[in-house]
Amino acid sequence: MKTIINYSDTGVKYLEIKNMDGKIWLVPFSSVSKGLELYQPSSKKGQFLKKYLCAFKYFTFIIRKFGIRTVRIQIDSDFMHSMKNLFNKADIQYSIFLGTPGRDNKPTIQLYTANEILAFCKFSAIPRIRDSFCKEAKCLAYLGQKGVDAIPKVLSLEKLDEEESVFIQSTEKAFGATTLHDITDLHIAFLRDLADKTCQNCKYIETDYYKSLCKFKDNHNKIPFIYDKNFIENVIQFISARMEGIQEYSFYHGDFTPWNTYLTEKNTLEVFDFEYAKYTYPKLLDIFHFFTQIKLYESNENADEIMEDFKIYFVHGKLGSLFENVYFSYLLYLVDIMNFYLERDYGYFSEETVKCLKIRYELMIHCFSACLEGGKT
């Protein structure tokens, strides 16, 4: 099996950036600023690095304090030749994210020249991940047929050899593109458009959300801390009873976050990374993911703090008007995201994952209590 990315003494000089979670980015030393467009940090430290690394990259004693070192990287020659032919460019550079550690690890490459970002490429030899590439390609084709704008196009999905699959998507991202870390009218407009254009009528027991809830009945036993099983079972029963009469469902991105969106030069919101998408979910749940991930990973808030912000933005703010019962809708999201991490990361739980699972569990308690009280808290 070929490997697209190799550490090699004879390779091109790169900067290796490693964060506290073990995630690694490889950025060409000759074009740090442009190569860092791939780097979407949520921490203040990471945001500082993205802004100033180009200025102090020559000072080894400084970059070492940030866990950065210089390395030599060799890109597979057949892959580079294929990219030159695909884009008809001879001066392509490659900035690399080696993927989130865990079962679903998959490296991502930003392909770019001195003047533009050409595309983003994912690759993997893991059968499950290769299948996810096919699933994401089908999702993008489906959304394109539905007339959903501001999403990537599939440029190529092929095998580099008998095992390694390469998935390349277009991008409208420009150098210096802005990432928005607050929910704006652009985010709401995109999600409403997504819901409207993909809305379909079906029975609850036929939906992707129902399948997720059924999995949670078993997966909650994987929760890595002491919890109330009766509470979980009551929540599942409560949701099932409330959802029985709902017939309208729509597309769900599954990882709608600041780091999977950006502003284009036309001041429109571009959304990418649809690998966790589902076709039939309760409408607009993605907005809760955007909100919660920011609070967890950027603001480092606990459950009580998140609930206070939730009341400001959703219960008393304009976002609440998107939902008939905002506490119940948030509960739907929390149950689903708990199931997602329990299923994806079981056996690979980091301290950060466990901490966030606990917070989501506490948020479930808050929302369920509010639902039982009629949503008046």
pLDDT (tens digit per residue) in 268-302: 999 999 999 999 999 999 999 999 999 999 999 99
Q: Report the candidate in 108, 85, 128, 116 with the shortest Cα–Cα distance to residue 39.
A: 108
Concatenating the DSSP letter of every residue in 340-373 gives HHHHHHTT---HHHHHHHHHHHHHHHHHHHHHHT
Average pLDDT over residues 225-244: 96
Q: What is the pLDDT of residue 22?
A: 84
- Tokens matching residue 164: 């390694």
Q: Which residues of 238-274 are buried (b: 16+ CB within 10 A; e: fewer)?
A: bbeeebeeeeebbbbbbbbbbbbbbbeeeeebbbbbb
pTM summary value: 0.93
Q: What is the pLDDT of residue 2?
A: 58
pLDDT in tens, 124-170: 988 889 999 999 999 999 999 999 999 999 999 988 777 889 999 99
* Amino acid code (one letter) for 353: T
Measured in residues, the chain has a length of: 377
Question: Does residue 1 surpass a pLDDT of 70?
Answer: no
Question: Does residue 201 surpass a pLDDT of 80?
Answer: yes
The SS3 call for residue 119 is: strand
Q: Residue 367: which pLDDT band, with cuts at 50, 70 and 90? A: very high
> Which residue reads 């997602």 in tokens?
340
Average pLDDT over residues 104-124: 94
Q: What is the pLDDT of residue 188?
A: 97
In the chain, % of residues over pLDDT 70: 99
Q: What is the pLDDT of residue 245?
A: 87
Q: What is the pLDDT of residue 377?
A: 46
For domain 185-372, give the CATH superfamily: Aminoglycoside phosphotransferase (APH), C-terminal lobe (3.90.1200.10)
Any idea what the Cα angle at residue 214 is, between residues 199 and 238, rounded to 5°? 80
Higher-confidence residue of 22 and 10: namely 10
Average pLDDT over residues 251-275: 95
In the chain, % of residues over pLDDT 90: 79
> Does residue 53 contact residue 32 with C-beta atoms inside 8 Å?
yes
Going by C-beta distance under 8 Å and a sequence separation of 6 or more, which residues neighbour residue 67?
17, 18, 19
Going from N- to C-terminal start, the domains of the chain cover: 5-170, 185-372
Question: Does residue 229 surpass a pLDDT of 90?
Answer: yes
What is the spatial distance between Cα 143 and Cα 232, in angstroms, rounded to a whole number? 34
Question: Does residue 196 surpass a pLDDT of 70?
Answer: yes
Helical segments of 199-325, H only = 208-219, 229-243, 286-297, 303-310
Beta pairing class for 248-252 and 261-263: unpaired
CATH classification of 5-170 is 3.40.50.1370, yes or no? no
> Does residue 72 contact residue 59 with C-beta atoms inside 8 Å?
no
Average pLDDT over residues 102-111: 88
Going by C-beta distance under 8 Å and a sequence separation of 6 or more, which residues neighbour residue 100?
21, 23
User: pLDDT averaged over the chain?
Assistant: 93
> Does residue 172 contact residue 264 with C-beta atoms inside 8 Å?
yes
Residue 261, φ and ψ in degrees, nearest 5: -145, 160
Question: Does residue 258 surpass a pLDDT of 90?
Answer: yes
Q: What is the pLDDT of residue 93?
A: 96
Question: Does residue 376 surpass a pLDDT of 70?
Answer: no
